[in-house]
């Protein structure tokens, strides 16, 4: 850890949040002289305060320790680069269209890797008016079911969450061009 870089980042983030050194110190549970010391690069935050400090400044512990925030590249928001994340504990679903560090239930989440559909996970798609009616010949038991389906277009994502209590079917607005993704609770993410 470079104390000078970390100190400069703490100061920058504190000022962006409109906090005084005293206000930040109170939020973290240290004295205001400690914050001054960190910002000057004359010391570093104690391991026990890093989590609270990162939360107060709206960043991650890794970014504080490295002393820099990496901006996403200009191509980062492209929908073609969408990534899906599912928490293994609570089932929370998140997406990102660029580089992201996501966590849920205390775990760092890794993006799901889409695989081509096998016979057991291949959907049937039928056009009904201006929607696609999608069905899966897949069981919907509590421990093994289709969790969600998402249609990704060049400018939008439509996600439909499914539950074991319902059938493996959904209706989704039709897009002229789009890519369909779906997630099986046991076998992972698939795409067509």
What mean pLDDT is reported for the chain?
89
H or E stretch covering 78: none
- The 10s digit of each residue's pLDDT in 85-95 is 999 989 899 99
Instruction: Kindly report the number of other CB atoms within 10 A of residue 190's CB atom.
Output: 23
Cβ contact 159:92 at 8 Å: no
Evaluate whether 3-66 and 79-191 have a shared fold. Answer: no
pLDDT tens readout for residues 27-61? 999 988 999 999 999 988 988 898 899 899 988 88
* CATH H-level superfamily of 79-191: SOR catalytic domain (2.60.40.730)
Is 169 in contact with 151 (CB distance < 8 Å)? no
| Segment 109-120, tens digit of pLDDT | 999 999 999 988
- Parse the chain into domains and list their residue ranges: 3-66, 79-191
Q: Is the pLDDT of residue 73 over 80?
A: no
Contact 180, 149 (CB under 8 A): yes
| CATH code of the region 3-66 | 1.10.260.40
Instruction: Identify the band that residue 65 occupies on the pLDDT scale cut at 50, 70 and 90.
Output: confident
**Max Cα distance, the chain (Å):** 67
C-alpha dist (Å) from residue 111 to 106, 144, 174, 192:
16, 20, 26, 18
Place of tokens 């928001």: 77
Return the number of other C-beta atoms located less than 10 Å from residue 21's C-beta: 18
Q: Please provide residue 120's backbone torsions phi and psi, each rounded to the nearest 5 degrees.
A: -70, -20
């Amino acid at each position: 850890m470079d104390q000078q870089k970390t100190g400069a980042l703490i100061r920058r983030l504190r000022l962006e949040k409109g906090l005084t050194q005293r206000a930040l110190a109170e939020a973290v549970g240290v004295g205001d002289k400690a914050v001054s010391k960190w910002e000057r690069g004359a010391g570093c935050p104690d391991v026990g305060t890093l989590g609270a400090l990162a939360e107060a400044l709206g960043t991650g512990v890794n970014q504080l320790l490295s002393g820099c925030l990496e901006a996403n590249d200009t191509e980062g928001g492209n929908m073609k680069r969408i990534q899906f994340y599912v928490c293994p504990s609570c089932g929370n679903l998140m997406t990102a269209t660029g580089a992201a560090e996501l966590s849920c239930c205390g775990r760092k989440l890794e993006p799901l890797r889409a695989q081509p559909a096998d016979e057991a996970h291949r959907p049937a798609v039928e056009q009904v008016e201006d929607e696609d009616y999608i069905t899966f010949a897949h069981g919907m038991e509590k421990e093994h079911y289709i969790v969600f389906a998402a249609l990704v277009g060049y400018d939008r994502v439509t996600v439909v969450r499914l539950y074991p209590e319902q059938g493996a079917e959904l209706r989704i607005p039709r897009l002229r061009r789009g890519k369909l993704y779906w997630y099986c609770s046991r076998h992972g993410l698939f795409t067509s």
